[in-house]
Amino acid sequence: MLPRARQLLTADRLAALVLPAPANPGLPLLLECGCGERAQFERAHIPGAGYLDTGDVERPPHWTRIPDAELLAVLLAQGIRHDSTVILYGRNNLAAARVAQLLLYAGVDDVRLLDGGFAAWLAAGLPCESGAPRAVSPAAASAAAFGAIFPRHPEYLIDTAQARALLAQEDGILASIRTEAEHLGLTSGYNYITARGDIPGAHWARAGDNGDVNSMSACQQANGAMKPAREIEQLWRAAGITRDHEVAFYCGTGWRASMAFFYAWLMDWPRISVYDGGWCEWSADPTNPIMPISSPFSRP
């Protein structure tokens, strides 16, 4: 069993938590995370859910997280403190993973994810409601209102300078959560990223199907639920990535890397982070080396 098994919810377990009385203020804070999907949310969502757009927590050009003071303000506006229980889901569950990773970085004690996202809720035949997001009672707009040091886990995110340092570290690994076509340089994967290739010295940890930057099929079942932990660890071990390394996951802009991070966190890997800028930021700096197209990754 996963050490943090309760943090990954089936649809039935979530229903048991939120359906009896969605307006009960003692219930966990349930948030749908989307990217410009407010209209779809208002047509149908899990009863009692609020809505948080990823555009509120990350910004261009590299889609890195917003500054800490702004992130704190976003969380407080949603009524989130360090001791909150926050349950996240998405139509694209990578959006929820992105927010989950940032909440863990911030220091929220109890962050949970609906395994398989909104599709799992629908597949279970559970009810939906329409309309505006649930009203929230914002926390006081001050750093003290969070109730703990902010962020409490700065080690969960690294920047480009730290990524370079990790590559030079004997037990450090940059784990590329990208498709084969991306890592071979056949495509950048994104219409707003020009450069193709990958980071020299990184280990290719796989992501999903070529042509789909929203696929995590290497780590997920066909229904979007997490594969057994032993299968994911086997996959990463084959790439030279093990829990005794210090591992920073990255992808194009952070969503797939955040899901890989969340799975590693569920498995209680001790030294993990997300390289927030990922390929988008790395490739934008002409002083950073780029692995030649179609060259295999180095192996330890």
pLDDT digits (tens, 9 = 90+) for 11-37: 999 999 988 755 555 678 999 999 999
Q: Of 33, 219, 251, 280, which residue is the catalytic one?
A: 251
Residue 226 structure tokens? 């997490």
Does 58 score more than 70 pLDDT? yes
- Judge contact between 54 and 110, C-beta under 8 A: no
d(CA 36, CA 91) in angstroms, rounded, equals 11
Residue 151 structure tokens? 């962020």
d(CA 244, CA 28) in angstroms, rounded, equals 34
C-beta atoms surrounding 67 within 10 Å: 10
- 66 Cβ neighbours under 8 A, 6+ residues apart: 56, 57, 58, 59, 74
The pLDDT > 90 percentage for the chain reads 81
| DSSP H/E element including 176 | strand 172-176
The pLDDT of residue 136 is 79
pTM above 0.85, yes or no: yes
- Judge contact between 204 and 297, C-beta under 8 A: yes
For domain 154-284, is the CATH number 3.40.250.10?
A: yes
d(CA 294, CA 278) in angstroms, rounded, equals 19
- CB contact burial 214-225 (16+ within 10 A = b; e otherwise): ebbebbbeeebb
The answer to whether domain 5-146 and domain 154-284 are alike in fold is yes
Mean pLDDT of the chain: 92
Tell me the domain boundaries of the chain: 5-146, 154-284
- The question of whether 251 is a catalytic residue gets the answer yes
Cis, peptide link before residue 151, omega less than 30° from 0: yes
d(CA 274, CA 281) in angstroms, rounded, equals 13
**Residue 110, burial from CB neighbour count under 10 angstroms (0-12, 13-18, 19+):** middle
pLDDT digits (tens, 9 = 90+) for 211-253: 899 999 999 999 999 999 999 999 999 999 999 999 999 999 9
Considering the segment(s) 5-146 as one domain, its CATH architecture is 3-Layer(aba) Sandwich (3.40)
pLDDT digits (tens, 9 = 90+) for 5-18: 999 999 999 999 98
DSSP assignment of 95-164: HHHHHHHHHHHHT-SEEEEETTHHHHHHHTT---B-SSPPP--PPPSSGGGG-S-SSS-GGGEE-HHHHH
DSSP assignment of 229-247: HHHHHHHHHHTT--TTSEE
d(CA 281, CA 272) in angstroms, rounded, equals 20
| DSSP H/E element including 279 | helix 278-284
At 274, which amino acid appears? V
